[in-house]
Structure 1
């Protein structure tokens, strides 16, 4: 067991912060000395490490508490997602460094703002939060699927993919075309009916996630053809604006 002072020295977290984490139920002390001082065991330190990783990813304390208190919390899966988010942040920082170095070398202003784009990070974080159960939308999804069989859930996912894949046949059209926008509305309605209430803000986040690369983008483009995910994102962006 370690005292609060020892934990503070080991982790760099202030004693005041550790006291606060205990008060709000985020990091309860494992025990107390006869004098009433907080004590922390290995399990508490492991939990603190999870908290600090989430803090590095700029998650609010209230969201971290909800995630860690969720009965479905999967430490290994969470670590994988945290690693992916940290890699995205690393790439973002490297892009900014490269832009600054290029500007310094040329002595001119580089009219390229892509290095400031954080949409991939936001989209992946939104996806991860839903899986961690830290959002009302995920809770609504759990309620709607609680009585469904695995086959019914799988079939539902297949229907959703068909709706998204249909954007592949529309790529010759303008994303703002009525037919394309009607397909976006169909997608929004399906998600609201079978998963969770899909506001325009959430729909826009999903669109960014579809085109952010990785498994989602690959699966959508495999179903609808190359460029489907990217076109769907553009159509959703028009709809949500």
Structure 2
């Protein structure tokens, strides 16, 4: 067992940070002594490492907690995803460093450089939504969605956008109902089916997406333009739908 000060020193974070993680319910000590000392087990240490991997990828603490509290959370799959994302980051950094090194030589008049080479390693392709989705769901699902919606098949993308807007309007008309009602669940089932035409969404992913609708102001504003409160209605309906899906698969 480690005291809070010992764990903080080991992980190179502050004691205050560990206290905050405890308050959030993100990382609670295995036990607290009669004297009030927090004691952390090996299991706590392993969990803290996973939390810090997420933090290194700039994922908010509240989202980390939701991910790690999810019954479907797979810590091995999460670690593999961390590894993949860090390897991609390292690859891009290596290209940028090579670009910078050559640029310095050009500036010194020691070599030449093509116009294309000057921009090697720069990448601003990923929009904010795509980056966030990649962090939460994995790059494979996002890449698959991009190929279907944003790739060369422009007609598919426009058609899908029209269908989504139509379904938003249908859901907006139902938002006064209980999200768990059969009518609401039938409509949100259409949303689940439509999303799975773009990529593959597990029940956990579908639930997390619904949470994003109310946690991220960008999503809320975009959805609520079809009707105030629609984002919250969809979130609650998606949560219920995901629960029912999971029960059916047990």
| TM-score (normalizing by structure 1) | 0.56
Q: Residue 182 of structure 1 corresponds to which residue in structure 2?
A: 155
Q: Residue 136 of structure 2 corresponds to which residue in structure 1?
A: 129
Which structure would you say has the larger RCO, counting Cα contacts within 8 Å and 6 or more residues apart?
A: 1
Q: Residue 135 of structure 1 corresponds to which residue in structure 2?
A: none
Contact 2:99 2:120 (8 Å CA) reproduced: no
Distance 1:19 1:118, change over 3 A: farther
Deviation at 1:185, TM superposition (A): 2.3
Q: Residue 115 of structure 1 corresponds to which residue in structure 2?
A: 121
Alignment of structure 1 residues 46-85 onto 2, 5 Å: 46-85=46-85
Separation (CA, whole Å) in 2 of partners of 1:121 and 1:182: 21
SS at match of 2:121: helix
Q: Residue 22 of structure 2 corresponds to which residue in structure 1?
A: 22
Count of paired positions? 159
Is residue 2:160 matched to residue 1:195? no
Q: Which runs of 5+ in 1 are unaligned?
A: 132-159, 168-174, 207-241
Contact 1:164 1:187 (8 Å CA) reproduced: no
Separation (CA, whole Å) in 1 of partners of 2:37 and 2:85: 36
Deviation at 1:119, TM superposition (A): 4.0
Separation (CA, whole Å) in 1 of partners of 2:9 and 2:193: 44
Contact 1:85 1:125 (8 Å CA) reproduced: no
Alignment of structure 1 residues 1-241 onto 2, 5 Å: 1-107=1-107, 112-117=118-123, 119=125, 123=130, 126-130=133-137, 164=148, 181-188=154-161, 193-195=190-192
Deviation at 1:74, TM superposition (A): 0.4
Separation (CA, whole Å) in 1 of partners of 2:60 and 2:104: 36
Deviation at 1:26, TM superposition (A): 1.1
Deviation at 1:78, TM superposition (A): 0.9
Distance 1:50 1:39, change over 3 A: same
Deviation by residue 1:140-184 (Cα, 9 ceiling, x = unmatched): xxxxxxxxxxxxxxxxxxxx99x939x7xxxxxxx6xxxx54321
Distance 1:196 1:100, change over 3 A: farther
Q: Which runs of 5+ in 2 are unaligned?
A: 139-143, 168-189, 200-250
Distance 1:32 1:196, change over 3 A: farther
